[in-house]
Amino acid sequence: MDEKIVLALAGNPNAGKTTLFNALTGARQHVGNWPGVTVEKKEGTLKHSNREIHVVDLPGTYSLTAYSLEEIIARNFIVEGSPEIVLDVVDASNLERNLYLSVQLLEMGAKVVMALNMIDVAEGRKIRVDHSRLEELLSIPVIPTNGKKGVGISELLDRAVHEVEYSNDKPRSIIQYGTEIEEELSKVEEKLDRMIFRLGKLSNRWIAVKLLEGDSEIAKKLDGLEGRDRILAQVEQSRRHLTDIFADSPEILFTDARYGFISGAIKQSVHVETADRVHLSENIDKVLTNRVLGPVILLAVLYSVYLFTFQGSEPLVDSFETFFKWLGNLVSDAMPEGMLRSLIVSGIIDGVGGVLGFTPLIAFMFLAIAILEDTGYMARIAFMLDRVLRGFGLHGASMLALMVSGGIAGGCAVPGIMATRTMKEPKERLVTILVAPLMNCGAKLPVYALLIGAFFPGGKAQIMFLLTIVSWAMALTAAKIIRSTVLSGPSAPFVLELPPYRIPTLRGLLIHTWERTWMYVKKAGTVILAVSIIIWAMMTFPSLPAEQAKSFDQRISKLSSEFLALPTAHELFKTEGDLEDFEAFRKQLADGKAKDAENQKPEFLALAQALGYESKKLKIDDSRKAAMAQLADSYTRYAEEKNSLENEKQSAGLKHTLGGRIGVALEYVFKPMGFDWRTNVALVGGFAAKEVVVSTLGTAYSMGEVNRKEAVSLAERLKTEPGWNPLLALTLIVFVMLYNPCFTTLVVIGRESGKWRWSLFAMVYTTTLAYCMAFLVHSVGSLLKLGV
């Protein structure tokens, strides 16, 4: 005979567990007490399929949380007694209450076979349980039984033996608790991983859940271990954080999530013919998740989010842009011209400032997302879109990962990819990991905001709404192709937790918004600052060769000499110094800072008036207007030619730098999309982080300026830059949306997939997709002359 199987019989009180125990073991029973306590312990043996099965009847309990003695005994036996299989007895007529224990068993990673007991009682109450559907959803065997009549006993034992012999030890179903709780779980789990702590066959994730629930029995298991204090300190910090965010204890949060999971399973597998009282959340769900009204309401909500984000943040974004423009001019005026000024103004202020300028927009977006999450509507979005995901080869759990990655806009692919850890089917998990970077993460928002604000000022919310649709369309299409080719296979069932609706607390919303916005600001002050300085160096060195620079200077000097030689000019400008003095005066007039106009030469005032500058201080004799008009025409031609030469010199200098050479080398590749060499450099910088695209454009166009005093915001520069138009802006937006994941995301893809080749695959396929879609947008737009 093969090795003996230890089978633990678990279930709620009054679920028919004792009756089923008797049906299994007959007279072969032994009754005693559990060690150290007076709680009755019943054991029995039987033989089935040539195997001896030792059955241990655990105390009836509603959960495995260590509150009562019965719960502690039941859990400790599963943890320390290591039964080969747990037979979970549930009352089919009261599934919601009974499944709570089932969910906890699944979270532990125990091998479970469910006995759907008292099925006759359920039928008498007009409750019909689709056990096949329930089996699919829980990914464990579910066998209808009747302990009194012995119905289903043989099949129950068959499945139990099969599970022992053929199933693996991995958790069968793990609940996704939502972004905030999952982040805290990851922190505790990471501390446990570092101290190489293990509790039997249980995963550190389950231990982390128990610690956050305040389970003192699990906490005692850490006593005497190195690193215990660090873990408990993290647990306490995480518990306080969750309490601050949700205004509820972690125990309640975990309980709500489990019942949400159970509610989803029951909705899909139980049909009740009798009318019961419906909870408020269910009444709301009848409208919000309705097959017809639900999608319409969802689209309206998303559109409202974008209106709120762009219109609400616009005054603050304008103020931030004005501040950084003022700061750049202030530093430029205060410092002598040279390398240090260029680094601070062009490298840091224009680079990092270009990203920080969109901080209000990011904060408004995060606030909107926090409202959707804290009310419980985000879970309903996932519930509705789950139906769509099935058709594209994705799993229902993919919805959560994609939403975290930026399904609405403003997320991040890194936690989104890590959220796939709860997915059981490897291929579905991997395809979710690979398409998550196509979502509109928060790092892409500054690029969108810059280009939409510059070229589509009247339709910001509409364009952002369109980009969300495009992002989802690309992700789903990519998933369908990948699932049909390199990762083909069947889909696993999914149950989505539907938490009860809540009224968000102001404190929770502010904490959510602040924490996520601060991460954005901190990234701008670290990663983006470093990359901006590197980009500045790439756009500065090597400098233009002395001979080439001298050639430009000689051409400019010759142009000035030719202008001074003109009879009309020679009378006013005796030397190049006079010409420089007038140029400085003209700039003062342009900036509205000509405080000493009355002290200028009358000829300077006359020429300024002829050039179109109006001022109360410009009182010129009418007799000189004709001569000054002729001189103004000559000066205008001279100024334009000189400015053209200076710009040509700046452009040549930039193209000679390392960054310029890279951009020029890529021009042939990106020419079909209309990108110039400066845009190419920005896209290369975006490989590190997508926000760098904005900072690099700011640096590149700032360093191309001849006159800092005439500096404007990056959006204004692009609007007036030759070659830029709405079509080019839209083409760049599409490319940035889809191309290569940032460096951090690539690292996480490799780590979570277990193979670095998938990071390479993600890099290649996303960039190829981006190139094809951007080329299509630009080609069709050019053909139809849209936005040109």
- 409 annotated among ligand-binding-site residues: no
Cα(510)–Cα(218) distance, rounded to whole angstroms?
Answer: 33
- The contacts of residue 714 (CB under 8 Å, 6+ apart) are 350, 354, 450, 694, 697, 698, 701
Is 23 labelled a binding residue? yes
Q: Is 37 known to sit in a ligand binding site?
A: yes
244 is in an annotated binding site: no
CA angle 12/16/21 to nearest 5° reads 105
d(CA 15, CA 147): 10
Peptide bond into 542 cis (omega under 30): yes
Instruction: Flag whether 622 is marked binding.
Output: no
Structure tokens at 351: 């680079």
Identify residue 760 by its one-letter amino acid code. Answer: L
Q: 690: which 2 tokens?
A: 């997508």
Cα R_g (the chain), whole angstroms: 35
Count of H helices and E strands in the chain?
A: 36, 9
At what angle are helices 602-610 and 576-591 packed, to 10 degrees?
A: 60
Q: What torsion do the CA atoms of 91, 96, 101, 106 make, to the nearest 10 degrees?
A: 110
**Cα(134)–Cα(268) distance, integer angstroms:** 8
Give the 3-state secondary structure of residue 377: helix
CB 15 within 8 A of CB 2: no
Q: Are 769 and 474 in contact (CB under 8 A)?
A: yes
Determine if residue 16 is labeled as part of a ligand binding site: yes
Q: Among candidates 638, 646, 644, which has minimal Cα distance to 544?
A: 646
What region does 150 belong to: left with phi over 0, alpha with psi -120 to 50, or beta? Answer: left
Tell me whether residue 707 is annotated as binding.
no
Q: Is 17 annotated as a binding residue?
A: yes
Alpha helices in 419-545 (DSSP H): 426-435, 445-455, 460-484, 506-525, 527-538
User: Does 117 belong to an annotated binding site?
Assistant: yes
Question: Would the annotation count 38 as a binding residue?
Answer: yes
On whether 12 is known to bind a ligand per the annotation, the reply is yes
**Is residue 57 marked as binding?**
yes
Residue 59 labelled as part of a binding site = yes
Kindly state the tokens that stand for 747. Answer: 């690292």
Question: Does 214 carry a binding-site annotation?
Answer: no
Report yes or no: 464 and 310 within 8 Å, Cβ to Cβ.
yes
Residue 692 marked ligand-binding = no
Q: Is position 283 annotated in a ligand binding site? A: no
Known binding-site residues for Mg(2+) equal 22-23, 25-26
Known binding-site residues equal 11-18, 22-23, 25-26, 36-40, 57-60, 117-120
Known binding-site residues for GTP equal 11-18, 36-40, 57-60, 117-120
